[in-house]
Structure 1
Amino acid sequence: MHQPRKIRYGSLDSYVIDDTDENPPSALVVLCHGYGAPGSDLVGIVEEWVYMLGESASNFRFICPIAPHSLADIGLPSGRAWWPLNMARLMEAVQAQCFEELHRETPPGLDLARSALSELINEAKQEIADQRDCPVQSIPLAIGGFSQGAMLTMDAALRGQITPPDLLIQFSGTIICQPQWTESMGRLENTQVYQSHGTVDPLLPFSSAQRLRDMLVDAGVSVEFHDFTGPHTIDGQAIVSTAVALKHLLG
């Protein structure tokens, strides 16, 4: 596999990890980082997947988009965000353990982020289809992310101008846009969802992750749910399990 290189898809600069152009990939994986992280934050996860996938890794093009908003003005020079957060309000919700309003609202900036991610996904899928001279609808697609990146990819899967993914990965995500998400759950009828969450997450409560899981299950969506004793992070088992899920995309 190549070292990560920067490529722009639509309006988003991205880190891309794949094999040589002489051996074009057959599947696309898009992994979105969380709030406050640098754009390269999840490249290490991709590198672990590549190791675990072995020879199968050459079948994938992995893309880690860089969120559009810089957080340099709040003291995070390398930090990025998919949409701005009202941190004071979030901390109030954490202290009060009251997330109902946050679960129901559409964050300002989400629509633009979803549109940008959808454009990236469609452009990247078309690129693979052109390289392989095959129909774009035949390209297996996995999307996912961590924290804010998980929320964005869930929203894109449910409301984006994309074909619903074959695999949707939710590392430490939560519910937003609950009325709209509930209404759109039917789009995931052919999607496998992998969801992981720490039981002592101090930022996005485990109970909200359970609620998201129940929303999916109640809608008939296939969900693999992994809980672990830990904070707001991605644990080793989640990386192993998602590598297995990615391999299943290849048939």
Structure 2
Amino acid sequence: MNQPRKKRYGSLDSYVIDAGQAQTPAALVILCHGYGAPGSDLVGIAGEWAETLGESADQFRFIFPIAPHSLDELGLPSGRAWWMLNMARMMDAIQAQQFDELHHETPPGLEESRRALSQLVNAAREELAEQRGCDVDAIRFALGGFSQGAMLAMDTALRGPIPAPELLIQFSGSVICQSGWTESLSRLQKTRVYQSHGTQDPILPFPSAERLRDLLVAADVDLEFHPFFGPHTIDGEAIASTAIALQQLLDPPSHGNTAP
């Protein structure tokens, strides 16, 4: 497996890994890190996926965007954010178990990050299509993230100027912009969504994950929901299951939507 290289797509620097040594990848996987993490935080997942995918890993290009906002002034010299958080307000909501207002609001800075991620998605698809000598519509891709990165990925899939991804990954995400998301969920009718969340999550409590799950199920989205006993993290089963879902980017199933 190749070492990560730095590349800029639009306004975002990213870590890029082509898993194969001798062929141009056929599909893209774009995964956004969470609030406060360094831009390299999720890069190791590419190796875990590649181990499960085996020879099929050679057909993937993995891209890990680096969020635009530095958290140096908050004492996190390598920390990045897709948008800034009012941590005191968030902690109050966690303690009071009152997340409803947060679920409905549009965070300041979300639109700018949605625009930047959309530019990255489109530029990366166009780049790969040119390298493969094919139409850009032939490039299949997965989009996802962890925590704040998962929220951005969902928002971009629903409201960004990009095609709907074939696979949307939600590691420990939550609901924001609920009315806007609900109006746009029909965009995911041909998208498979994988959602995982720890039942003991102290950062984004599990009821927030259930709210996202229920929105997707109500819209008849093809959803695989994986609750696990654990905190704000990504467990091994989530890595294994998303590797299987990535394989289906190369060998899409012939059946249609399977949501309950």
TM-score computed with the length of structure 2 as normaliser: 0.95
Aligned residue runs from structure 1 range 182-201, under 5 A: 182-201=182-201
SS at match of 2:210: helix
Amino acid at match of 1:126: E
2:81 paired residue number: 81
Task: Determine if contact 2:25/2:128 at 8 Å carries over to the other structure.
Answer: yes
Q: CA deviation at 1:51?
A: 1.4
Q: Distance in 1 between matches of 2:239 and 2:48?
A: 8
Task: Determine if contact 2:20/2:57 at 8 Å carries over to the other structure.
Answer: no
Q: Distance in 2 between matches of 1:67 and 1:19?
A: 23
Q: Is 1:164 aligned with 2:164?
A: yes
SS at match of 2:57: helix
Q: Distance in 2 between matches of 1:150 and 1:124?
A: 19
Amino acid at match of 2:74: I
Structure 2: gaps (5+ residues): 252-260
SS at match of 1:196: strand
2:230 paired residue number: 230
Aligned residue runs from structure 1 range 46-195, under 5 A: 46-195=46-195
**Any idea what the Cα deviations from partners look like across 1:13-56, whole Å, max 9, x if unmatched?**
00000046851111010000000000000001111111111111
Runs of 4 or more consecutive aligned structure 1 residues displaced over 4 Å after TM superposition: 19-22
2:246 paired residue number: 246
**Any idea what the Cα deviations from partners look like across 1:101-150, whole Å, max 9, x if unmatched?**
00000000000000000000000000110011111111111000000000
2:207 paired residue number: 207
Identity of aligned residues (%): 69
Q: Distance in 1 between matches of 2:124 and 2:109?
A: 23
Q: CA deviation at 1:200?
A: 0.7
Amino acid at match of 1:51: E
2:255 paired residue number: none
Q: Distance in 2 between matches of 1:156 and 1:55?
A: 31
Q: Distance in 2 between matches of 1:119 and 1:235?
A: 30
Q: Distance in 2 between matches of 1:58 and 1:127?
A: 17
SS at match of 1:119: helix
Q: CA deviation at 1:211?
A: 1.0
Amino acid at match of 1:164: A
TM-score computed with the length of structure 1 as normaliser: 0.99
Structure 1: gaps (5+ residues): none
